[in-house]
Amino acid sequence: MTTLDFSTRFPEGVVADEREGYEGYIIAADKLVEFATTLRDEYGYDYLSSVTGVDYIAEETFEVVYHAYKTIGGAELVFKVQVARDKAEVPSLTDVYPGADFQEREAWDLLGIKFTGHPDLRRILLWEGFNGHPLRKDWQEAYYEADIKPFKSRWPKPEYARAEARNPYGANVKYPEKFDPEKWVPEGEDALYGSLAKYETTDDDGLKTDHLTVNLGPQHPSTHGVFRIAAKLDGETILNLKPVMGYLHRNHEKIGERNTYLQNMPFTDRLDYLSSMSNNFGYALAVEKLIGIEVPERAEYIRVIMAELTRIQNHLFAIGMFLNDIGAFFTPSLYAIEERELVLDIFEMVSGSRMMCNYFRFGGLARDLPAGSLQKIKDLVFDRLPRKTDEMDRFLSENEILRSRCVGQGLLSAEDAIKYSAAGPVLRASGVPYDIRRAAPYSIYDRFDFNVALRYNGDIYDRYIIRLDEIRESIKILQQAVEQIPEGEIQTGKPRYQMKVPAGESYGRVEGPKGELGFYLVSDGKGNPYRYHVRAPSFINLTAFGPMCKGLKIADVVAVLGSIDIVLGETDR
């Protein structure tokens, strides 16, 4: 937590948030842009990490919560804006921090907070005809049963019914008046391509040309899921593009607010389903901050080991699929998957599942390492993985075709990377040495000797090669961790499925394989989180996708997207 004195600079409109368990500053809506500009230019908080809203329905208030950081490291600065629920308008920060773009759209989509001055305030995760804003506390989903789990219908007098029996177009679905979903069509192309509207130009010879809007996806092999890219083209050159997402949206945050704290843990596995251990880590940190519980030494080591193994297998997969995307069909990706399988074997042995690990608990872990698993990890990190990483490097990094395709393409400068709130390898490949494990160490990362992987060109090639660098650094951490790991407890206190969580807010963040993964929690002292928000790196890294692609040929879009490394379970949430 950071405390600054704003009283001389802002005698009015900036007050400290003094609610019990809360931190940061409350800014008057009309001072917000000025405050943010000052924060960025005078105080050095150049990186806006997270923007989200909270619906305090009892107080008739919406609160927009911002988390800003300095890219030179240090703790966060939280600032908030409160507006009346019936007149939810907040000035947009896209001019000061362009990285707020998608996040403000998300807050508009899910909470219905209007950001005045936002250049393209459309829904982002839900479809255009959706009625209402689901994260508002008075909104109920189609299969709604009760506000919070556990449901009363389960025990001791069960009323067995399938969720969908309550749903299909029955009384539980609300549509606006005179709305028929069968007959609805989006209002012209504007609704879908609003900011991409095509226009005509006349070239030097007086020839009239039309710009063309092309959709890549939703079914396109390069997207690794259901994801659409609406691109405006001049010939084959990209003039502008907008990612269109939400095909896999399931309102993870609403589900999270219905769940008890512990019940949420397996749901976090399903965000970035390639790196469930990292997701567990971030969520556990956020809740532990709220409860104020310590984690035993041995559990900390196991956590770090699992998080770094996750990074390795995620990056292997990312590299493999990236090379696949740009035309090295399947050989590199299957080489990478071999190593990934061996890491997943360890996850399965330890947690019981290869991908949906659900291994972390508040104040520890679900269980200790089973016999033999530590030896398996040692075998991998001392012998196989270094060898195979070098092989992967030798395989294609110097390949002339790959280099001519990637070097100098899809550029993202250091300034832009910060501006667009890019995180993780995307940020570091642009020459910004920002890694949460170093910038604001959590868990026991301050004990290990490793370097922050850094590349300077910010092109596709650097975003590829930095992942190999990071694998090597992770192996370094793992080699130290498996040697130092002490014996001992793996859980503080008795494992509990319902615990007392004091009222307040917390923001837990980890350096996930894809970037900063943050969990913003608000507790009202009950068994379920009042607000649960995920700062998803896959989602926010896409803010820079459009700017990266401007001026490239359409075939390069595939390479750029591959180099960002998104997982749609996390993008769409």
Partner 1 sequence: MYGKGLIKGLGVTLKRFVDTYLDDIKWMGKRYYTAEGLAHRSSKDAKGVFTVQYPEEKLPVPEEFRYVPFLVYDEGEKGEILNRCTACGICSKVCPPQCIWIERATDPKTGRPKQEPTQFIIDVDICMNCGLCAEFCPFDSIKMDHDYEIASYGRTIHHLDDLMKPASYYDEIRPINSAKEAAARKAAAEAKAAKAAARAAKTKAKS
Interface contacts to partner 1, rule CB under 8 A:
149-151, 153-160, 162-163, 259-260, 262-267, 331, 335, 338, 341-342, 345, 348-353, 356, 358, 366-367, 370-371, 376, 379-380, 383-384, 391, 394-403, 495, 497
Specify the residue, 67 or 388, whose C-beta has the smaller distance to partner 1.
388
Cβ atoms of residues 78 and 104 within 8 Å: no
How far apart CA 545 and CA 416 sit, in angstroms, is 11
Place of tokens 């009283």: 7
* Residue 115 C-beta: closest distance to partner 1, Å: 33
Query: How does DSSP classify residue 553?
Result: B
CB of 279 to partner 1, least distance (A): 13
Please, which residue, 2 or 172, has the CB nearer to partner 1?
172
Taking the least distance from each CB to partner 1, the nearer of 375 and 451 is 375
Q: How far apart (Å, rounded) are the C-alpha atoms in residues 361 and 293?
A: 11
Phi, psi dihedrals of residue 8, rounded to the nearest 5°? -80, -40
Nearer to partner 1, 92 or 528 (CB): 528
**Beta carbons within 10 angstroms of residue 255's beta carbon:** 17
Q: Which is nearer to partner 1, 260 or 279 (CB)?
A: 260
- In the complex, minimum distance from the CB of residue 367 to partner 1, in angstroms, rounded to a whole number: 7
Q: For residue 208, what is the enclosing H or E element?
A: strand 208-210
- Residue 46 or residue 339: which is nearer to partner 1 going by CB? 339
Shortest distance, position 471 Cβ to partner 1, whole Å = 16
**Residue with Cβ nearer partner 1 (175 or 382):** 382
User: Whose Cβ is closer to partner 1: residue 157's or residue 208's?
Assistant: 157
Least distance in angstroms from the C-beta of 165 to partner 1? 12
Write down the least CB distance from residue 390 to partner 1, Å. Answer: 10
Count of CB atoms situated within 10 Å of the CB of 131 = 14
Sign (positive or negative) of CA dihedral 298, 299, 303, 304: negative
Question: Which C-beta is closer to partner 1: that of 149 or that of 476?
Answer: 149
**Closest separation between CB of residue 438 and partner 1, Å?**
30
Least Å from the CB of residue 433 to partner 1: 28
Sign of the alpha-carbon torsion through 37, 39, 40, 43: positive
* Smallest gap from residue 426 Cβ to partner 1 (A): 25
- The span from the CA of 256 to the CA of 133, in Å, is 16
Q: What is the DSSP letter of 457?
A: S
Question: How many angstroms from the chain centroid is the CA of residue 386?
Answer: 29
Least Å distance between CB 398 and partner 1? Answer: 3
Give the helix, strand, coil percentages of the chain, each rounded to 5: 40, 15, 45
**DSSP-assigned beta bridge partners for residue 214:** 231
Distance of CA 46 to the CA centre of its chain: 19
Helix (H, G, I), strand (E, B) or coil at 14: strand
> Is the Cβ of residue 353 or residue 413 nearer to partner 1 in the bound state?
353
Question: d(Cα 289, Cα 441) in Å, to the nearest integer?
Answer: 14
| Closest CB 375 distance from partner 1, rounded Å | 10
Q: Residue 264 or 479: which CB sits closer to partner 1?
A: 264
Are the beta carbons of 93 and 47 closer than 8 angstroms? no
DSSP string for 318-383: HHHHHHHHTT--SHHHHHHHHHHHHHHHHHHHHHS-SS----EETTEESSPPPTTHHHHHHIIIII
**CB of 158 vs partner 1, minimal distance in Å:** 4
Which of 49/474 has CB closer to partner 1? 474
The separation between CA 365 and the C-alpha centre of its own chain, rounded to angstroms, equals 23
To partner 1, the closest distance from the beta carbon of 483 in angstroms equals 17
Of 30 and 338, CB closest to partner 1: 338
Per-residue three-class SS string for 49-96: EEEEEEEECCCCEEEEEEEEECCCCCCCEEEEEEEEHHHCEEECCCCC
Sign of the Cα torsion 361, 518, 123, 238 reads: negative
